[in-house]
Amino acid sequence: MLDAAAGQVGTSTAPGQDAKAPVAGEPCVLLKLGEIVLKGRNRDQFERRLQNNIRSAVKGLGIKIQIWQREGVIVVRAESGELADVDAVARRMLDVMGIVWVHRAWRVAKEPDATVQAALDLVGQHPALVRKGAFAIRARRRDKRFPMTSSELNILVGSKVQERYDLPVNLKHPDIAVFIEVDQREVFVFTDGTPGAGGLPVGMSGRALVLMSGGIDSPVAAYRMMRRGLKVDFLHFSGMPFTGPESIYKAYALVRELDKFQGGSRLFVVPFGKAQQQIKSSGADRLQIVAQRRLMLKTAEVVAHNLGGAALITGDALGQVSSQTLQNITALDDAVELPIMRPLIGMDKIEIMAEARRIHTLAISELPDEDCCTVLTPRRAETRAKIDDLRQIEKRLDAGEMAEQLSTTLQEHRPSYGDPGA
């Protein structure tokens, strides 16, 4: 029998199925971990961080949960026991970094008969049953003390399924696959799963600051670094007072969408138009774009230090635009002491757009606006910027003082996933 803390085995319905077709067991969410299981002595730190992130992600749903850490998996149980709550939790888990598979599973007593009954119920509800599709049973024992081996459990459950439904067996390409996992205190039975976000738990790798434009690239760069365990803040440079607030609205919407991957996101906005005008008046000419990007990085470095960030993140991709040549990127690195992370550096535009579409930021990025980078820019941009020339421009402008001053003009916003807007 299930332990008392876990609750008694009951009867409920599978996701999307009619209430007249019960499954013997309790619905839960079974989360499979990825590279976390490869960690050594500090593995428990990764697991604790992930558990905290799971609780934070579910908080907005208003659903009370229980979490159990097992060997390589995490079990999430909705205290209500309602299938709708379990389904909502499972959907939310798809965006939590560190999880590679999300299964809507059924917890049953650690007994062969209970396992057989749950498997029969699930096969009986599967759409492939109508077509008399082939099936397979895939059992695994995490607890080797269970009296039956995995092979014996496969044979037992498989024979009962054949007896009940008269279905053929196909171990390589089944239409219905029933997974049985024998754990410490119970057995989990399920028929499918959904790939999770993977990566490392957000916050495990430290904190960084993303230079967030309203374009396609920087949101994808932010996502890829969150997936590597970084907790990120966002800094947007607006063209105001020479542009309208449209780019700020876009940045807000993008951060709100990305917030589902980390929670607690902060967006800081800097009015950058007058600084751009000063750079233009300094005689930057073809160096205008590189010079203003260096000033952005210098400002971002000040902001990052104030926020406890240890790195800057940009959406640069080598050769994508004229300002992103190797020589110009080298000139940008020279502007600051903090490391600049460029997770998209080797990607082309098609790859970046595909990623943006998958994480649901592409449609927002494609909305029209007047970005600060398009304001006061020369007809032709320098592709081979010389660091000495840029330093001379910055000396005339006192760029260090400008960056400090710009960092005091921040407007802070806290877009939350699910928030209807600004």
Alpha-carbon span 381 to 290, nearest angstrom: 8
Please write the tens of the pLDDT for every residue from 405-417. 999 999 999 998 8
Q: What are phi and psi of 161, to 5 degrees?
A: -65, -45
Lowest mean pLDDT of 131-135, 149-153, 324-328, 415-419, name the range: 415-419
Query: Looking at the predicted structure, is the pLDDT value of residue 218 above 60?
Result: yes
User: What would the pLDDT profile of 195-217 be if each residue is shown by its tens digit?
Assistant: 999 999 999 999 999 999 989 99
Q: How far apart are CA 377 and CA 170, in angstroms?
A: 64
46-67: average pLDDT: 95
What pLDDT is recorded for position 336? 97
User: Residue 379 half-sphere exposure, CB side, CA atoms within 13 Å?
Assistant: 0
**Predicted local confidence at residue 14, as pLDDT:** 38
What single letter denotes the amino acid at residue 26?
E
Taking only the tens place, the pLDDT of each residue in 249-308 is 999 999 999 999 999 999 999 999 999 999 998 888 899 999 999 999 999 999 999 999
Picking from 199, 214, 216, 255, the residue whose alpha carbon sits closest to that of residue 352 is 216
In whole numbers, what is the pLDDT of the chain averaged over residues?
Answer: 90
Distance CA 117, CA 22 (A): 11
**Count of beta carbons in the 10 Å neighbourhood of residue 51:** 17
If pLDDT is split at 50, 70 and 90, which confidence band does 373 have?
low
Length of the chain: 422
CA distance 97 to 175: 30
DSSP symbols for 258-298: HGGGTSS--EEEEE-HHHHHHHHHTT-GGGHHHHHHHHHHH
Q: 10 Å Cβ neighbour count for 421? A: 8
Between 70 and 234, residue with greater pLDDT? 234
- Answer whether residue 376 shows pLDDT above 80: no
Residue 5: the pLDDT is 35
